[in-house]
Amino acid sequence: MSDETPGDVTSLQARLDELRIEHRDLDEAIARLTVNQMEDELMIRRLKKRKLVLKDRISVIERMLEPDELA
């Protein structure tokens, strides 16, 4: 993390927060579609795929902000 400037960390943290919010919103949308018997399988698959992409991006940013101590 020593190569990161405070602005970089702030920017990454803001992006991480945005991705977490979008991930949570997608989770809620998927739950609503499933519960309300709206059998739009294509939409549910697309939302789940987007959610996985967001989860991967969140993981990458988290690793950038908190690298392993052994590295």
Q: Name which of 15, 25, 33 is nearest 50 in CA terms.
A: 25
Terminal-residue alpha carbon distance, the chain = 11
Percent of the chain at pLDDT > 90 equals: 51
CA distance 26 to 49: 10
Mean pLDDT over 20-49 rounds to 86
Q: Where along the chain do its domains lie? A: 1-37
Confidence (pTM): 0.67
